[in-house]
Amino acid sequence: MVAYQVHTGGFSRRIKTHIAGPEHRFAVVVPPELARICLKETSWLDIPQPELSDAGLEFSGRLQDAYTCNLWLRTASRVLCRLAPFRAGAAEELFHKASRIPWELWLNQEIKLDIEARVEYSRISHEGRVAEIISESIGKSLREKGPLHPSDTLAKDMEQRAPGESTTGRLQTDDFELKQKILVRLLENRCGISIDMSGPHLHQRGYRLRHTGAPLRETLAAAILLKSEWTGNEPLVDGMCGSGTFPIEGALMSRRIAPGLGRDFLFQGWPSFQKKTWEYLRRKAKETSLLKAPETIIGIDIDPEAIAVSAENADRAGVGGDIQWEKMDFFEFNPMKRGLRKGLLVLNPPYGIRLSAGGVGLYERIGAHLRLNFKGWKYAVLAGSRLEAAAMGTGRVRLWSIRHGGINITVVFGGIAG
């Protein structure tokens, strides 16, 4: 990714006047089921007065606050910057007003645009036409202001990061073609434009380059751990770890490692990128992290390839030394024989498209194993249906219905008496 840096006093003053100096409106995009968990996360980060919204969360603040959200939020999908809304009752008005936005201060002109439009109850009714008008207005604005020139200095800065710390000047994309997403909403002849700051989805932490099929998203794994009220100061066992997402996210949480430290973000390529501010935030994040996880974290899987993949991913995340990986059948694992004190058990058994290996019978076995061997433990178990959840027979539980991988699933939260 080419980063821009313009070495003119006039341009720098315009950046400060229009972008760096004033407050902006930001949206943190979060699935509805995760929004309240994410809201709680923002309270730990001193984000100014976040509110629940249709997008997830919204708040007014400075660029530093949005940088902080990208760096620290474990359950968010992406962060958007909202531009000031304006009235647009006709195509000519939309073009004229959108052309007046200082796009040259916002956009890296080396990155292709991906403009999505949504129209409701407006005189301009065709969403494709709205996207075209915004694209044309951006082109006109940039042509009139003149092209910017990429700075080799910033590009080299990005390439000189330590191995494993981040990517070499490019966003971790998992075969994702980098584009600048711009979202346009025309509601009752009033236009709102949002610019994506994150780039690839925030679940892409940069460590999971391999998986074993049907992986659990990092954001959902973190949300389940947070909803379980696991603090990191008690053992964590994942009995069917797959690609290792639960143990790795748990290690990052328990060591207070910011989930965004291992990747780059789209805003780093913007002309208005505040490099010193970003370096300060990253430095403070590293200073506050712990050297090792305070409690035992174990990842178990019967598949040797899953264990190998999990260990690779953990090493890439910088938490390989915090997790014990064990190739074994979960139903042969007994925490009491390991001398573990009571903690949290997480399980992501086969369900949905993987149901051939699961079903109600599997959940009956899980419940029996927990009642016998996990007395006093809390648990969070993913199930494909409430019928499977009920089959565990572990007493009073909390059920959380969410969507994952295009299907509805249920997360069962409970505890084993004893």
pLDDT of residue 359: 86
- The values of phi and psi at residue 381, to 5°, are -125, 130
pLDDT of residue 137: 97
pLDDT of residue 34: 98
Of 210, 199, 175, the closest CA to residue 313 belongs to 210
Residues of the chain with CATH 3.30.2130.30: 9-72+78-196
- Cβ(171)–Cβ(1) below 8 Å: yes
pLDDT of residue 418: 81
pLDDT tens for the chain, 418 residues long, are 555 555 477 889 999 999 999 999 999 999 999 999 999 999 999 999 999 999 999 999 999 999 999 999 999 999 999 999 999 999 999 999 999 999 999 999 999 999 999 999 999 999 999 999 999 999 999 998 865 544 333 344 444 444 334 433 445 444 557 999 999 999 999 999 999 999 999 999 999 988 877 789 999 999 999 999 999 999 999 999 999 999 999 999 999 999 999 999 999 999 999 999 999 999 999 999 999 999 999 999 999 999 999 999 999 999 999 999 999 999 999 999 999 999 999 999 987 554 545 689 999 999 999 999 999 999 999 999 999 999 999 999 999 999 988 889 999 999 999 8
Of 10, 35, 63, 23, the closest CA to residue 267 belongs to 63
pLDDT of residue 150: 41
Query: How many Cβ atoms sit within 10 Å of the Cβ of residue 297?
Result: 24
Q: For residue 411, what are the β-bridge partners?
A: 382, 400
The CATH label, of 2.10.109.10, 1.10.3720.10, 3.20.20.80, 3.40.50.150, for the domain at 218-255+290-415 is 3.40.50.150
Residues of the chain with CATH 3.40.50.150: 218-255+290-415
Torsion sign over Cα 327, 328, 334, 338: negative
pLDDT of residue 253: 98
Pull the structure tokens for residue 75: 């359950």
Does this model's pTM top 0.85? My answer is: yes
How would you classify residue 292: left for phi > 0, otherwise alpha for psi between -120 and 50, otherwise beta? Answer: beta
pLDDT of residue 165: 44
pLDDT of residue 168: 32
H-type helices in 300-377, by residue range? 304-317, 360-373
pLDDT of residue 284: 98
- Cβ(254)–Cβ(289) below 8 Å: no
Pull the structure tokens for residue 99: 């052309």
Taken as a whole, the chain contains a residue count of: 418
Architecture of the domain spanning 9-72+78-196: 2-Layer Sandwich (3.30)
